[in-house]
Amino acid sequence: WRIDSDGGNVTIDGSFVDTGIDYAEYFENAEEGLIPVGSIVSRVGRKVRAAVPGDRILGVVSAQPAVCGGGAGLHWDRKYERDAFGGYVLALDEQGNMTRKVSADYDASREYVDRSARPDEWTCVGLIGQLRVRIDETVTSETAYIEPGVDGVGTATDSVTRCEVMEITTPYSAERGYGVALCFVR
């Protein structure tokens, strides 16, 4: 293994093994407020919201992904200048080493707060893999696919969607307002 502290890269000659079972990315919320884990989400431009009937499924809010991109976990997303394709713009530092060029808009006086610590603003959305999805009372063990229902809760459909039911892990409860199904999202 190799860790490149300056470039921010990790190289391995093997596998990462994790208990997570989905692949996710952080998306900014379209409206401020927490989108509950297990909710189906749809895209509004570059942002997300809990899906409603008729929406296309982007993914499902993930509790523990194997991989989650877009977290900006070490610094503000726009701390360094980027080119048109999102690559870092490089420049020589005072010692003559190539390094990332700090953006003129970067404010070093602002304390950084990781996106994972701001769930009212950012949501970790599982885009592919096995995800636990909130379901309504129409989803049964015979249901093959689900589509967005009210407030991001999945409802049974005869149509093929990105969200295929594998197993109901928690039956629907009217008191709780949802059940949970382990689904394969593709």
Residues with active-site annotation: 25
Other CB atoms within 10 Å distance of the CB of residue 182: 15
* Angle (CA) 177 40 184, round 5°: 105
- In the structure encoding, which two tokens stand for residue 40, read together? 């189906």
Q: What is each CA distance from 181 to 28, 56, 168, in whole angstroms?
A: 25, 19, 4
Separation of alpha carbons 3 and 162, rounded Å: 36
Q: Is the dihedral of CA 18, 24, 29, 34 positive or negative?
A: negative
- In the structure encoding, which two tokens stand for residue 31, read together? 């409206």
- In the structure encoding, which two tokens stand for residue 28, read together? 């900014």
Q: Report how far Cα 115 is from the mean position of its chain's Cα atoms.
A: 11
Separation of alpha carbons 167 and 179, rounded Å: 11
